[in-house]
Every structure is written in structure tokens, then in C-alpha cells.
């Protein structure tokens, strides 16, 4: 099989951007926005710095606004609008703060350089948090509705543990008078320890892309491979953040027994299917899991946050961009493509991540692989070309468009600024208040980063050459991946890169791999359609990609020998889209809303589909609207105080109940067999509508 270069391109973008950058600005971002999980996309002002601030779709309550002075609090609450119109650097040095309201409300403008940082409790709690989150995230990754447990949960949970250690552990100084002098308890648990613990935990707050390779080879190809430090007064008739976290945790923990075990249909309530139980068209339109999801809603937090992250952490204008993009692709492009039978669309389901033959049957990939794990060209010619469902093909198109739109958007809206910053990089430049605070600390030597980068590249090349038969990526593929990573550093990497997580990354890698291997060895039929819970949707899509881009090759799919060559025109459409917005912004400078239209976000809104489904998006958008617009606009005090804490509590409660259900009931095979556990209840949603197409479980159209 030819090399699956795309996998390693993304891996190298990750490795490169994890270790390559070393600036004081990056160090500062690390402290207040260490969990940015975005698509570079939420920028709407002409400043790269503001872009980095705003692109974080997961900005956390980290810097405890309640530790600020009363005067600081007053200045934070006043003078900020929902849009960025003020300059980044305030001219009033006495009231200098970020002009971005969300940042000003959550990030302190004071710093104490004397606080101890690399303490015993930081290493202990950080390591434990990293291991726990790595296990839980990989554990849930294989589920039909995977859950990404963010660092918020650990961030809040470690506060009482840190305070307990500060109160009970001896303050004795060991090796006093030597350069090895240290204490297990250097004083009160402080904010900087908390930040580093959260950074540690963040290394486990997701999954490792390389695990997809292991899962695809082992399961599908069936080959073996060798805010919360200072004392907080309870508000009148209210609760503290810690109390609110506990309440939301308990409620989430107790509630998840219903969508997770007793009433799994809560994952996707597709009421249109209930009204029309025999109609293929109605179920195609109404199914939240296998259709367009019209009217579908999920009453399960894992449904809401599984692919796009917590909607509580997304600013409303970003959510709105995603909503517009989703509605356009899902309810305009896809239906038109399907009902006009483009690429023989009616021969296949309207929404599916399966690979099909020209007759609408599931493609038998094993039949076109020879004994050396390569493409058997004769067998492929007999089986015929590979086909995709309408929506799957369109998502590849919008993916191409989003890539070119990203480059064009950065060039148009930030090109001049980038050039000016390059020219002034060796000159004295102004710094915002937070960068000034970070400038007091010694910078990490540049050669450290170069060494880490060189070691990682060398090890990767060695692994690819040593395990050539299994990985099938030549050394030049690694070099190509590095070149592409360098090219996309500015438009994408500078936003998504989270630097310096070396220790956490090493720990998380072993936990991720061990957990994945354990689950694959212990769960029968894992990643198979026959499994109701453990269907591994993300790994299934990765497997499809390995077939398209690796086994068969893009030339036979999207090239001159392929069925879907016309989809390459999406690159051009994506490049032109930001130009229209840029021209409109210049023609109507007084219309501030135009700058909120971000074409990379809008076009790439469906980038997670599949494996994400319609109900994941519809419910995420609804909750994002309620939090980011309704609550933020009308009750900003509640939003500031409880929004992110609620997100962490919901994540944590669901995660622990999920593990309890699996260990206590799942391992024993104990389940409840009734209609409420039939996911979606839309059996005809995956049926083709082409005449004479025979598909298991579906009526044949005449």
C-alpha cells in the first residue's frame, strides 16, 4: 500500500508547532489561553495578536478575576464592547488592559514574580491530571458519541487538593544551603502552580492523532503491529464557583445514566422519523445520526460537545459563522447534489462515511489488498472505482476550499500587518500589558527547541525506515511533511500551536497508547457497525482516508483518473470567497458586521463531518446561542461567574459516570433491551433512493 502521507503531514504539523515557536508572546499565550482549540478562524480585526486572543474557542477561566482589586474589577467591567474597535495597546498606562471584553473579565493585569512555580505539588498533581485525562479521553474516543474532557475539569478539581497539600505537608527544607535545596511545601498553593498543572492536564485533554494509525491497522486492516485560589465570599442568594462546579458535576454524573445506559435515544431525538416511520425521504431529512437532522436534538452532553468542543466556550460571532456554514452545506449544497443525482448520488445513502461500489454496495477493501499490504491493481480494476456518499464527497470539497480560504484570508486581512511585523521584528516594539508582565522572566533558549525538533524528526525517520512494512512512509515523505508544516505555520500553526508541553506530551503518549490497546483487546467487535456504543466514528473516517489517500491514491479519486476530479474546483472557490468579504469590508467600512464574516470558519464549518453528525451541530449551535448570545448579552455577570465552570462540571460528571457504567455493567455485558435504546430510530435514513439499488434492510425503489 502506498504511503498515507496525509497522516504524517498532520502529525508533523503538530510536532513542528508544538516545539518550534519560542517568543515571549507565545509564553504569555501559554498562561492565559493554553487551551486554544480553534481553527484560526475567530479573528475579525486587523491584528495578529488580537487574532490569537479571539481564535481560542476554549478560553478558560484561569486568572481568577476575583483576585483583582476593586478598581481593577471596575475597569474590567466598563469600557468594553462585544466588538474590537479600540487599539490593542491602551494609551492610558494607569488603566492599561485588554480591549477584548472576555479577556479583560478573566485575565488579571497583575503578576508576582516571587511565587514558587516548579514545586512538588505541581509535579504530582500535574502528572496525575495528565494521566487521568489521557485515559478518560482515549477511553471515550472509541464511542459512538466521543467525549473530549477538557482541562477545565482538572483545573477546578486540583484547587482543593493543592490547598490541602499546602495545609498538611511538612514545610521542612531538604538539602538546605546547597544548590539542591527544596521544600515539599514552599507556601500557599498559588496561581502559577495552578497554571502549570492545567497545562500538564491539557496534554491529556484530547487524543493523539497517531492512535488512528494503530486503530486502522489493527482493527480495520486487521494487521498486527509490533480560578480558584483566593477565598471567595458567597454572593448573596448565590453559590461560589466551587459549589457550582460540584452541583453541575453531581447533576451531570447522575443524569448520564439515562443517555449512557437506560435511554440511549436521548443522544438523538429525531421526531420526524417517529411521525413517518416508513418514509425514506422523511428519515433522510429528519435523522440526526444518518440524515440531515432537521428538527433533531440531543439531550446528551457528549452529543453536544463531542466534536466541536464545549459550545459554552465559543464566542457568539464564531458560533454564528459555524451555523451559517453548516446550514449552507447541510441544507443547500447536499440536498441539491443528492436530488440532482450528481455523481450518481441516489445510488448511495445521503449521509454516510462508508466506501461504496458503483452498484451501491459496501466496498470490500480486503479484496483489493495483496499479501504485501499493497494495492492489487488487477483486483481493483475488477472491483471498479470507489464511490462516496454525497455528503462525504462534499465535505472533501469544502475541506479543500477551507484550506485555500485560510491562506487567502490571512494574506488579505493580515498580510500588510505581517510584513510590518517582519520589518520591525528587530526593532523596539510596544508590548501589551500581559506581554510586559511576561518580559520579566528569562526566556527559554532557542537551541532547546531546535534540539527537540531535530530529535523528533530523526526518530520519526528512523521509525518509518525500521517499520517500513507496517508504516510504508519513505524518508522523503517525512521531509515533505516538515516542509508543508513550515509553510502552514503562519496561517494555522501560530494559532493552534501550544508550546512547551514536553513532559506532559511524553506521559500522555504512553497513556493514550496503553488505553487504546487495552480497549481494542477487551471489547468485542470494537469499531464495528454491530456495536451500539463502540463504533469508533473518528477512526472509521481515518480508515476511509487511508484507503483514499494511501491505498488507492488521490489520483484515482480526485485526479485525472478519478470520479471526483471536479471537486478540485473547490480550491478556487475557497480562494475567492475571502476576496468578496475583503472587498465588502473596504467598500463599507462603517458596517462592522462584515468583518465578523470569517470565510475560513464559515466554509470549514462542516470540517468535522463525518464523523460528526447533524445532531452534533444543531444542538451545539443551539446551546452556543443560549450561552454566547442570550446569557452573555443579558446576564454577563452570570456568564462571567459560572459559564466555564458549568462546562467543566458537565464534562467531569459525564466522564466519571461513563467509566463507572463501563466497569460495572459494560464489562459484564449487562444492558437494557427496549425501544428507548435504539439510537435515532431512523432505520431507513441510510437507504439509497436510486431505482433498482439493493441495500440490506432497505426497500428497493422501482
Distance between CA atoms of residues 9 and 17, nearest Å = 12
Domain-located, residue 71: no
In this structure, the answer to whether residues 251 and 173 fall within a common structural domain is no
3-state helix, strand, coil in the chain (%, to 5): 60, 0, 40
How many structural domains compose the chain?
2
Identify the band that residue 217 occupies on the pLDDT scale cut at 50, 70 and 90.
low
**Residue, of 244 and 285, whose pLDDT is higher:** 285
Residue-wise pLDDT tens digits, 46-56: 333 333 233 33
The candidate with the shortest Cα–Cα distance to 86, out of 75, 99, 77, 76, is 99
Backbone φ, ψ for residue 50 (5° rounding): -65, -30
- Sign of torsion over alpha carbons 31, 32, 34, 39: negative
pLDDT of residue 302: 87
Give the tens place of pLDDT for each residue, 655-673: 888 888 887 887 777 878 8
What average pLDDT score do residues 204-214 get? Answer: 71
CB burial readout 549-568, b (16+ within 10 A) else e: bbbbbbebbbeeebbbeebe
**Is pLDDT above 50 for 43?**
no
Q: What is the model's pLDDT at position 232? A: 54
Are 248 and 213 contained in the same domain? no
Q: How many residues does the chain have?
A: 702
What pLDDT sits at residue 594?
86
pLDDT band at 576 (very low <50, low <70, confident <90, very high): very high
- 36 vs 610, residue with greater confidence: 610
Q: With 90 as the cut, is the pLDDT of residue 538 above it? A: no
CA 14 from centre of chain: 13
273 pLDDT higher than 70: yes
pLDDT at 487: 80
Chain segment 310-365, per-residue pLDDT in tens: 888 888 888 999 999 999 999 999 999 999 999 889 999 999 888 999 888 999 88
Cell representation of residue 223: 494487521
User: What contacts 189, CB < 8 A, 6 or more positions away?
Assistant: 121, 159, 162, 163, 165, 166, 229
Query: Does residue 208 register a pLDDT over 60?
Result: yes
Residue pair 532/542 in contact by the 8 Å Cβ criterion: no
**Cα distance between residue 534 and residue 524, in whole Å:** 9
Determine the Cα–Cα distance for residues 595 and 577; give it in Å rounded to an integer: 13
Residues 216 and 248 grouped into a single domain: no
Highest mean pLDDT among 95-99, 323-327, 433-437, 444-448: 323-327
Instruction: Determine the average pLDDT of the residues in 97-109.
Output: 67
Query: How many angstroms separate the CA atoms of 480 and 486, rounded?
Result: 10
The CA radius of gyration of the chain, in Å to the nearest whole number, is: 26
> What pTM was estimated for this model as a whole?
0.71
Q: What's the grid cell of residue 641? A: 461567574
| Beta bridge pairs of residue 375 | 369
Chain position carrying cell 501550544: 498
- Of residues 90 and 248, more confidence is placed in 248
- Residue 549, domain member (yes or no): no
In three-state secondary structure terms, 183 is strand
- pLDDT over 60 (residue 466): yes
pLDDT given for residue 573 in this prediction: 93
Residue where a domain terminates, one of 178, 204, 220: 220
- Indicate whether 92 pLDDT > 70: no
Secondary structure (H, E, C), 626-672: HHHHHHHHHCHHHHHHHHHHHHHHHHHHHHHHHHHHHHHHHCCCCCC
Type and span of the H or E element at 540: helix 537-545
* Range scoring the smallest mean pLDDT among 31-35, 128-132, 395-399, 678-682: 31-35
Cα-Cα-Cα-Cα dihedral of 670, 674, 678, 680, to 10°? -140
The answer to whether residue 676 sits within a structural domain is yes
CA gap 568, 174 in Å, rounded:
65
pLDDT at 272: 92
Closest CA to 222 of 477, 669, 610, 528: 528
| CA-based nearest residue to 499, from 28, 133, 10, 30 | 30
pLDDT computed for residue 3 by the predictor: 37
Asked if 249 and 216 sit in the same domain, the reply is no
Q: Tell me, what DSSP letter sits at residue 274?
A: H
- Letter string b/e over residues 249-260, b meaning 16 or more CB atoms within 10 A of that residue's CB: beebbebbeebb
Segments forming the whole domain that contains residue 294: 244-351+613-701
Spatial distance between the Cα atoms of 690 and 350, rounded to a whole number of angstroms:
11
pLDDT of residue 58 exceeding 50, the answer is: no
Provide the pLDDT for residue 619. Answer: 93
Nearest to 184 by CA among 122, 124, 120: 120
Q: Do 167 and 265 reside in the same domain of the chain?
A: no
Region 465-491: mean pLDDT is 81
Boundary (domain end) residue, out of 204, 220, 236: 220
Say whether pLDDT at 596 is over 70. Answer: yes
Whether residue 208 contacts residue 511, with contact meaning beta carbons closer than 8 Å, is answered with no
Please, what is the average pLDDT of the chain? Answer: 77
Q: What is the pLDDT of residue 428?
A: 58
pLDDT band, residue 113 (cuts 50/70/90): confident
Tell me if the bond preceding 673 is cis, omega within 30° of 0: no
d(CA 35, CA 666) in angstroms, rounded, equals 32
Look at residue 307 and tell me whether its pLDDT is greater than 80.
yes
Phi, psi of 408 (to 5 degrees): -65, -40
Q: Tell which wins on pLDDT, 344 or 86.
A: 344
As to burial, measured by CB atoms within 10 angstroms (0-12 exposed, 13-18 middle, 19+ buried), residue 242 is middle
The pLDDT score that the predictor gives to residue 13 is: 36
Note the pLDDT of residue 4: 39
**Is residue 225 within 8 Å of 217, Cβ to Cβ?**
yes
Work out the percent of the chain whose per-residue pLDDT is above 70: 77
With 0-12 / 13-18 / 19 or more C-beta atoms within 10 angstroms meaning exposed / middle / buried, residue 431 is middle
Q: Is 200 a domain residue?
A: yes
Cell of 326: 453548516
Contact 40, 495 (CB under 8 A): yes
Please say if the pLDDT value at position 224 is more than 80.
Answer: no
State the average pLDDT over residues 7-24: 36
**Is the model's pLDDT at 546 over the cut of 70?**
yes
Listed in sequence order, the DSSP H helices in 61-169 are: 70-77, 101-106, 120-141, 151-168
Domain check: are 292 and 326 in the same one?
yes
484 in a domain, yes or no?
no
Asked whether residue 214 falls in the same domain as residue 254, the answer is: no
620-635 pLDDT, tens digit each:
999 999 998 998 888 8
d(CA 550, CA 564): 16
Could you tell me which of 23, 20, 43 has the C-alpha nearest to residue 406?
43
Of residues 494 and 18, more confidently modeled: 494
* Spatial distance between the Cα atoms of 610 and 351, rounded to a whole number of angstroms: 9
Domain match, 326 and 270 both: yes
> Which position has the higher pLDDT, 90 or 331?
331
- Region of 354 on the Ramachandran plot (φ > 0 left; ψ -120 to 50 alpha; else beta): beta
* DSSP H stretches of helix in 210-269: 211-215, 241-255, 257
User: Do the domain assignments include residue 660?
Assistant: yes
Reported as a single tens digit per residue, the pLDDT across 416-427 is 877 777 776 656
Distances (CA, A) of 66 to 76, 190, 196, 438: 11, 14, 20, 21
Alpha-carbon distance 629 to 320, whole Å?
10
259 and 181 within one domain: no
User: What is the crossing angle of helices 5-19 and 475-487, to 10°?
Assistant: 50
Q: Which of 315-319, 361-365, 366-370, 527-531 shows the lowest per-residue confidence on average (mean pLDDT)?
A: 527-531
Confidence of residue 100 (pLDDT cuts 50, 70, 90): low
Per-residue model confidence as pLDDT tens digits over 162-190: 889 988 888 888 888 888 888 888 888 88
Q: Is the pLDDT of residue 230 over 60?
A: no
Q: Is the pLDDT of residue 83 over 60?
A: no
Question: Residue 36: is it exposed, middle or buried by C-beta count within 10 angstroms (0-12/13-18/19+)?
Answer: buried
**Helix 537-545 × helix 5-19 angle, to 10°:** 110
Say yes or no to pLDDT of 91 above 60: no
**Residue-level pLDDT at 192:** 86
Band the pLDDT of 580: cuts 50, 70, 90: very high
The answer to whether position 671 is within a domain reads yes
415 occurs within a structural domain: no
Whole-number pLDDT of residue 322: 92
Average pLDDT of the residues in 362-389: 87
The pLDDT confidence band at residue 605, using thresholds 50, 70 and 90, is confident
* pLDDT interval class at 570 (50, 70, 90): very high
Burial of residue 513 (CB within 10 Å: 0-12, 13-18, 19+) is middle
* Per-residue pLDDT, 666: 76
Amino acid at each position: 500500500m502506498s504511503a498515507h502521507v496525509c497522516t504524517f503531514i498532520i502529525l508533523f504539523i503538530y510536532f513542528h508547532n508544538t516545539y518550534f515557536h519560542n517568543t515571549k508572546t507565545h509564553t504569555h499565550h501559554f498562561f492565559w489561553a493554553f487551551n486554544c482549540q480553534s481553527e484560526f478562524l475567530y479573528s475579525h480585526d486587523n491584528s495578529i495578536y488580537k487574532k490569537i486572543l479571539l481564535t481560542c474557542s476554549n478560553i478558560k477561566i484561569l486568572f481568577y478575576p476575583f483576585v483583582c482589586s476593586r478598581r481593577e474589577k471596575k475597569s474590567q467591567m466598563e469600557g468594553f464592547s462585544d466588538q474590537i474597535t479600540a487599539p490593542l495597546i491602551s494609551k492610558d498606562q494607569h488603566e492599561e488592559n485588554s480591549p477584548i471584553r472576555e479577556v479583560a473579565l478573566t485575565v488579571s493585569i497583575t503578576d508576582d514574580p516571587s511565587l514558587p512555580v516548579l514545586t512538588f505539588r505541581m509535579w504530582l498533581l500535574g502528572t496525575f491530571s495528565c494521566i487521568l485525562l489521557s485515559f478518560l479521553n482515549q477511553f471515550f474516543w472509541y464511542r459512538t458519541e466521543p467525549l473530549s474532557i477538557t482541562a477545565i475539569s482538572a483545573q477546578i478539581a486540583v484547587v482543593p487538593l493543592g490547598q490541602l497539600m499546602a495545609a498538611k505537608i511538612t514545610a521542612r527544607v531538604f538539602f538546605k544551603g546547597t544548590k539542591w535545596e527544596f521544600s515539599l511545601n514552599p507556601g500557599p498553593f498559588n496561581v502559577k502552580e495552578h497554571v502549570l498543572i492545567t497545562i500538564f492536564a491539557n496534554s491529556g485533554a484530547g487524543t493523539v492523532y497517531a492512535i488512528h494509525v494503530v486503530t486502522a491497522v489493527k482493527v480495520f486492516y486487521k494487521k498486527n503491529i509490533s480560578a480558584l485560589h483566593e477565598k471567595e465570599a458567597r454572593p448573596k442568594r448565590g453559590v461560589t464557583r466551587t459549589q457550582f462546579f460540584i452541583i453541575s458535576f453531581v447533576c451531570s454524573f447522575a443524569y448520564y445514566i439515562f443517555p449512557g445506559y437506560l435511554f440511549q435515544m436521548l443522544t438523538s431525538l429525531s421526531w420526524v422519523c417517529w411521525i413517518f416511520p416508513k418514509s425514506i425521504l422523511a428519515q433522510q431529512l429528519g435523522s440526526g445520526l444518518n440524515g440531515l437532522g432537521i428538527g433533531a436534538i440531543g439531550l446528551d452532553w457528549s452529543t453536544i460537545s463531542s466534536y466541536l468542543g464545549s459550545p459554552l466556550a465559543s464566542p457568539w460571532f464564531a458560533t454564528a459563522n459555524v451555523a451559517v456554514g453548516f446550514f449552507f452545506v447541510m441544507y443547500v449544497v447536499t440536498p441539491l447534489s443528492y436530488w440532482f443525482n450528481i455523481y450518481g448520488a441516489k445510488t448511495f445513502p445521503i449521509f454516510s462515511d462508508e466506501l461504496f461500489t458503483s452498484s451501491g454496495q459496501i466496498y470490500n477493501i480486503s479484496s483489493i489488498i495483496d499479501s504485501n499490504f499493497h494495492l492489487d491493481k488487477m483486483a481493483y480494476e475488477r472491483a471498479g472505482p470507489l464511490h462516496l456518499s454525497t455528503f462525504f464527497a462534499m465535505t472533501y470539497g469544502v475541506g479543500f476550499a477551507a484550506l485555500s480560504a485560510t491562506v487567502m484570508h490571512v494574506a488579505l486581512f493580515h498580510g500588510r500587518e505581517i510584513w510590518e511585523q517582519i520589518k520591525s521584528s528587530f526593532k523596539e516594539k510596544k508590548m501589551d500589558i500581559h506581554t510586559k508582565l511576561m518580559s520579566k522572566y528569562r526566556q527559554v533558549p532557542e537551541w532547546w527547541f531546535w534540539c527537540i525538533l531535530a530529535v523528533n524528526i530523526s526518530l520519526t525517520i528512523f521509525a518509518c525506515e525500521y517499520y517500513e512494512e507496517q508504516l510504508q512512509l519513505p524518508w522523503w515523505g517525512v521531509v515533505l511533511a516538515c516542509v508543508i508544516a513550515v509553510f502552514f505555520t503562519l496561517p494555522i500553526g501560530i494559532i493552534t500551536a501550544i508550546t512547551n508541553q514536553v513532559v506532559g506530551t511524553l506521559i500522555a503518549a504512553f497513556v493514550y497508547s496503553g488505553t487504546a490497546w487495552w480497549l481494542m483487546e477487551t471489547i468485542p467487535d470494537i469499531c464495528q457497525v454491530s456495536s451500539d456504543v463502540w463504533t469508533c466514528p473518528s477512526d472509521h473516517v481515518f480508515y476511509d482516508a487511508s484507503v483514499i489517500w494511501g491505498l488507492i491514491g488521490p489520483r484515482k479519486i480526485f485526479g485525472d483518473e478519478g470520479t471526483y476530479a471536479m471537486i478540485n474546483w473547490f480550491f478556487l472557490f475557497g480562494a475567492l470567497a475571502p476576496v468578496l468579504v475583503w472587498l465588502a469590508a473596504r467598500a463599507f467600512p462603517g458596517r462592522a458586521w462584515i468583518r465578523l464574516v470569517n470565510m475560513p470558519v464559515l466554509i470549514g464549518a462542516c470540517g468535522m463531518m463525518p464523523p460528526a453528525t447533524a445532531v452534533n451541530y444543531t444542538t451545539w449551535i443551539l446551546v452556543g446561542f443560549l450561552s454566547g448570545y442570550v446569557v452573555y448579552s443579558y446576564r454577563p455577570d452570570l456568564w462571567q461567574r459560572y459559564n466555564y465552570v458549568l462546562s467543566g462540571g458537565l464534562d467531569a460528571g459525564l466522564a466519571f459516570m461513563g467509566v463507572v457504567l463501563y466497569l460495572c455493567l459494560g464489562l459484564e455485558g449487562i444492558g437494557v433491551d427496549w425501544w428507548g435504546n435504539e439510537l435515532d430510530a431512523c432505520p431507513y435514513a441510510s437507504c439509497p433512493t436510486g431505482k433498482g439499488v439493493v441495500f440490506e434492510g432497505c426497500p428497493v425503489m422501482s
